[in-house]
């Protein structure tokens, strides 16, 4: 799977000439934002990494090894300059409305994985929701889902 994701990255995260974004690129964009959310409170703990692997596995039907590889790739790709903006734009341009709502649900899961939502995490999720075209009500509904 890792090779497939790398090939998707070489093609770019955004849609090309109206072509739909690949599933691999979508997974990476979502995973990178989950990593960003977990890092927002300056504590990217092993429990949060485990939560992200579990979320990726469950939401994208990946086995443990593929979810771990996707997380590792997301961590390395998320560190690039303007990484959050690149992945946010990819989600805004390449995801359906339901897929965007699903990403926000996953972000809330990560934020809640350590038992409490840090103010910076909540702010990031609300801002991301706005940037990808969700209403405040959609973001709040995703938190309760």
Q: Say if 17 falls within a structural domain.
A: no
Q: Say if 40 falls within a structural domain.
A: yes
Q: In Å, how far are 70, 73, 81 from 110, measured between CA atoms?
A: 16, 17, 23
pLDDT above 90 (res 8): no
Instruction: Count other C-beta atoms under 10 Å from residue 12's C-beta.
Output: 13
Nearest to 121, CA basis, from 65, 44, 47, 62: 44
Of the ranges 62-76, 78-92, 100-114, which one carries the lowest mean pLDDT score? 78-92
Identify whether the C-beta of residue 82 lies closer than 8 Å to the C-beta of residue 36: no
In terms of residue numbers, what domain contains 113?
2-6+23-144
- Global pTM value: 0.81
10 versus 26: which is more confidently predicted? 26
CATH assignment of the domain containing 128: 1.10.3680
Q: Say if 121 falls within a structural domain.
A: yes
Q: Say if 55 falls within a structural domain.
A: yes
Q: Say if 42 falls within a structural domain.
A: yes
Structural domains counted in the chain = 1
What are the phi and psi torsion angles at 108 (to 5°)? -65, -40
Q: Say if 14 falls within a structural domain.
A: no
Q: Say if 58 falls within a structural domain.
A: yes
Q: Say if 11 falls within a structural domain.
A: no
Distance, CA of 27 to CA of 67 (rounded, Å): 10
Distance, CA of 132 to CA of 88 (rounded, Å): 7
């Amino acid at each position: 799977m890792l090779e497939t994701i790398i090939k998707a990255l070489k093609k770019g995260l955004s849609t090309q000439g109206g072509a739909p974004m690949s599933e691999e690129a979508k997974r990476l964009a979502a995973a990178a934002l989950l990593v960003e959310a977990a890092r927002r409170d300056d504590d990217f703990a092993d429990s949060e990494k485990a939560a992200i692997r579990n979320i990726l596995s469950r939401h994208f039907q990946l086995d443990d090894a593929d979810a771990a590889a996707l997380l590792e790739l997301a961590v390395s790709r998320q560190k690039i300059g303007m990484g959050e903006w690149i992945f946010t734009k990819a989600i805004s341009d390449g995801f359906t409305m339901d897929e965007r709502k699903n990403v926000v649900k996953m972000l809330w899961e990560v934020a809640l994985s350590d038992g409490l939502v840090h103010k910076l995490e909540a702010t990031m999720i609300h801002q991301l929701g706005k940037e990808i075209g969700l209403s405040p009500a959609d973001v709040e509904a995703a938190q309760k889902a």
